[in-house]
Amino acid sequence: MRAKAYAPGRVELLGNHTDYNEGVVLGATIDRGLSMTGEDREEDLITINSVSMGRAEVRCAELQAQTKQPWVNYALGVIRELKSLGLPIAGFSANLDGNLPAGFGLSSSAAFEVATALLLLKLHQRELPPLEIAKACQRAEREFVGVQSGLLDQVTSIFGRADSAVFFDARTEEVRTIPFPRNLVLVVAETKCKRQLSDSSYNERVRETCAAAEMLGVRALRDVSSERLKKSTLPSLLSRRAAHIVGENQRVWRALDLLASGDGAGFGALLNESHESSRYNFDNSSLELDLLVDIARGMPGVLGARLTGAGFGGATITLCEEKRATGVAQELAREYVARSELPARTFVCKIGDGAYSRLISRK
């Protein structure tokens, strides 16, 4: 049997690092993603060919993390999770392709995981509830790859809807879509400073925020108000980390009201606030990210800008008027190259359907 699956990347709008702190998040799927085409094979061998990463072969009976080709671990972890759920996965071959760059904060890892899961479910003619697919992919990333990620990336890739933001409550697991202002678009700008989350400070931030919650005597930082935090005696570093998470949760709740009323300027101001908190409280920005944000904020038609995703390099999003978007993207790239001497790539981002919406529309 032969099958094909597709999963899009995502941008994180607000809710930076809140998902693993049981908080609330806003994301959106983008019109870039990864496709996997594959078929069963009789021999006990998994072969995955990637246009950009190369070719990997692993025995199905020997699902071990690969050190020489770590990119394939995202798929191998998903295979292990689906096998634990009862899928009789034996050998198969697959080709991975797409226009979603890796390592730039657009969640290529989650797209790879989701595409792998959907392909294998199709090959074995099985179905799982979409949230269970997201959780299986998250477990793969946590337990096989070693990145202690939350569920935002997988949920957004699966549940996204065109012209809508995705609201996700990591504690209650509520997922809903929020209409996005039609006269506004996002410009994505890549710093060209690629980062590998498993080798970055991501897991360190997980430990720091968990330590802050423990010292405050709460289950998670979601349970802490800004007033309580101000009165706490947390060490300076942990206080700043907690301030970021508490502030991000508040910004997401405020954003829901602003989007409902079509207040793009207010929403853009929240993006600016979020980046400043990343810059000064969470230390997950970088000189290149700050430069892109600062350039964008000085342009006509721009309402706000911030890093997107985990940070530590990667990409930014700029909220701007649709009629000015192309010019903003071009000028942002030119100015960034002139001031950083780094190559730049920017593109106007359309908010598209997630993997599940695509599946439903084709049935």
Same domain flag for 158 and 240:
no
Whether 354 maps to a domain, the answer reads no
- Phi, psi at residue 284, to the nearest 5°? -115, 15
DSSP 221: G
Task: Decide if pLDDT at 360 tops 60.
Answer: no
Domain limit, last residue, from 178, 206, 228: 178
Q: What share of the chain has pLDDT > 90, as a percent? A: 79
Query: What six digits make up the tokens of 61?
Result: 């009976």
358 pLDDT tier (thresholds 50, 70, 90): low
Q: Please tell me whether residue 202 adopts helix, strand or coil conformation.
A: helix
Same domain flag for 288 and 332:
yes
Whether 355 maps to a domain, the answer reads no
Q: Is 153 a catalytic residue?
A: yes
Whether 196 maps to a domain, the answer reads yes
Domain limit, last residue, from 149, 178, 207: 178
Residue with more model confidence, 249 or 42: 249
Q: Which of 153, 169, 283, 353 is catalytic?
A: 153
Residues 23, 184: Cα–Cα separation, whole Å: 26
Whether 323 maps to a domain, the answer reads yes
Domain limit, last residue, from 132, 155, 178: 178
287: Cβ–Cβ under 8 A, 6 or more apart, which residues? none
Q: Is 2 exposed, middle or buried (0-12, 13-18, 19+ CB in 10 A)?
A: exposed
Same domain flag for 118 and 251:
no
Same domain flag for 214 and 130:
no
Residue 326 is which amino acid? T
Question: Would you give the distance in Å from CA 92 to the centre of its chain?
Answer: 28
Residue 98 is which amino acid? G
Same domain flag for 145 and 216:
no
Quote the pLDDT of residue 103.
74
- Phi, psi at residue 255, to the nearest 5°? -65, -35
Quote the pLDDT of residue 356.
79
Quote the pLDDT of residue 304.
98
**pTM greater than 0.75 (yes/no):** yes
DSSP 281: I
Q: What is the mean pLDDT of residues 297-307?
A: 97
What is the residue range of 161's domain? 2-178
Same domain flag for 252 and 342:
yes
Same domain flag for 281 and 318:
yes
Note the pLDDT tens digit of each residue in 144-199. Answer: 988 888 788 999 999 999 999 999 999 999 999 999 998 999 999 998 876 555 45
Q: How far, CA to CA in Å, does 8 sit from each of 36, 162, 344? A: 12, 12, 22
Note the pLDDT tens digit of each residue in 202-245. Answer: 889 999 999 999 999 999 999 999 999 999 999 999 999 999 99
Quote the pLDDT of residue 337.
96
| pLDDT averaged over every residue in the chain | 93
DSSP element (H, E) containing 5: strand 2-14
Note the pLDDT tens digit of each residue in 252-270. Answer: 999 999 999 999 999 999 9
- In Å, the largest CA–CA distance within the chain is 64
362 pLDDT tier (thresholds 50, 70, 90): low
Which CATH number does the domain housing residue 151 bear? 3.30.230.10
Q: Into how many domains does the chain fold?
A: 2
Same domain flag for 48 and 159:
yes
Whether 212 maps to a domain, the answer reads yes
Whether 362 maps to a domain, the answer reads no
Task: Decide if pLDDT at 80 tops 70.
Answer: yes
Q: How many CB atoms lie within 10 A of CB 59?
A: 12
- Do the beta carbons of residue 160 and residue 352 sit within 8 Å? yes
Q: How far, CA to CA in Å, does 281 sit from each of 26, 216, 276, 294, 363? A: 20, 18, 8, 18, 46
Residues 7, 29: Cα–Cα separation, whole Å: 9
Task: Decide if pLDDT at 357 tops 90.
Answer: no
Same domain flag for 167 and 206:
no
Which CATH number does the domain housing residue 270 bear? 3.30.70.890
Whether 13 maps to a domain, the answer reads yes
Task: Decide if pLDDT at 346 tops 90.
Answer: yes
Same domain flag for 157 and 189:
no
Same domain flag for 77 and 111:
yes
Q: What is the mean pLDDT of residues 69-92?
A: 93
Task: Decide if pLDDT at 318 tops 60.
Answer: yes
- Do the beta carbons of residue 174 and residue 168 sit within 8 Å? yes
Same domain flag for 25 and 64:
yes
Whether 358 maps to a domain, the answer reads no
Residues 140, 156: Cα–Cα separation, whole Å: 17
Tokens 């700043």 map to which residue?
240
Q: In the chain, how many H helices and how many E strands?
A: 11, 11
Q: What is the mean pLDDT of residues 337-342?
A: 94
